[in-house]
Amino acid sequence: MKIMLDFTGLLVLRQPQKLGGAYFTSVLLYSPLVCFYFGYRYLTYVSTPDSFSANIVYGVIGSLTAIQVASILLFLSIIDRKYWKSFTSFETGRQAVCRRFLECTHPDEDGIRLKVFKTHQDYWKPIEPSVRLWLNSRLTAWYKETPEFWNPATKAMIPDDLVDDLDLLKRIQTERKQKKKKKKNENVK
């Protein structure tokens, strides 16, 4: 996936997980320059009767660059403008996960906060104490209120080592086992 992204510049696959969107944008802008440079190198150092002329080399590179620019502009005109900032942001995926979790402070946003568990634990490791405190303060309420997001899939995402209440942990583990048995039985049928 990374190789395909780096060498094709597929905007839809852009993921700022390590370096941020600004890095992706800089690579996207830099790549045509590299093509022109290597076109120049080709014309300077490869001189055989079968060599392409400068018009052909620069014409092909220029055409492909024009197609790339047109594609980028079309893509930017189609997507929601609120996502434009992701192309210039230096925020990494790790920082975004932590920010999204910390920005949600109202209990109505618990479903959004639970998405932290959809990412690798290393992403939210810096805020693990906050995640643990929040999770343990809300578990009992979720079992009483049963909000829409509190379903078997959500319970399966919660790491056991974050649940301090042993009774709630056993309850979650039991429900996970029941879900696995049910899924196994469905697969057998």
Conformational region of residue 20, where left means phi above 0, alpha means psi within -120 to 50, and beta covers everything else: left
Query: How far is CA 84 from each of CA 12, 38, 118, 181, rounded to the nearest angstrom?
Result: 12, 31, 24, 45
pLDDT of 15 reads 58
Per this entry, what is the length of the chain? 189
Judged by DSSP in three states, 104 sits in coil
Confidence grade of residue 131 (pLDDT, cut at 50, 70, 90):
very high
- The better pLDDT of the pair 32, 188 is held by 32
Model's pTM, two decimal places? 0.66
- The better pLDDT of the pair 40, 4 is held by 40
The stretches of 15-165 forming alpha helices (DSSP H) are 21-45, 54-78, 93-103, 110-113, 121-124, 128-145, 152-157
| pLDDT tens column, 170-189 | 999 998 888 788 777 777 66
User: Which tokens sit at 20?
Assistant: 């941020």
| pLDDT tens column, 40-56 | 999 988 878 788 999 99
